């Protein structure tokens, strides 16, 4: 499976990871810590809530807000397209 990833794709993936790391600084501390514990340390949301001494709903909310902010910041940089879905 690693043979299926081209060197160019590997570089691009690393560049995006570097940009995300840079953008994490712009998040509020609690959102950044929640995101990092969940995505970088591979903790479940329940484990994140325990580690941060908060409730599971709060941990979920912080993760959602962190992802929304990162998505917005990445779209501002032209890294991803932010799509707005319209119902109906």
- Say how far residue 39 (Cα) sits from the centre of its chain: 7
Q: What is the pLDDT of residue 86?
A: 43
Q: Give me the pLDDT at residue 3, please.
A: 62
- In this prediction the pTM is 0.75
| Six-digit token string for 9 | 């794709």
Which pLDDT score is estimated for 10?
A: 73
| Residues 42, 38: Cα–Cα separation, whole Å | 5
Residues of the chain below pLDDT 70? 1-3, 82-88
Structural domains of the chain, ranges and CATH numbers in brackets: 2-76 (1.10.10.10)
């Amino acid at each position: 499976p690693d043979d299926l990833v081209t060197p160019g794709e590997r570089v691009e993936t690393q560049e995006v990871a570097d940009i995300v790391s840079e953008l994490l600084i712009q998040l509020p501390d609690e959102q950044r810590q929640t995101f990092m514990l969940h995505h970088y340390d591979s903790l479940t949301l329940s484990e994140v809530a325990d580690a941060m001494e908060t409730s599971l709903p709060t941990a979920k909310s912080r993760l959602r807000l962190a992802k929304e902010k990162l998505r917005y910041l990445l779209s501002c940089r032209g890294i991803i397209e932010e799509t707005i879905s319209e119902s109906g």
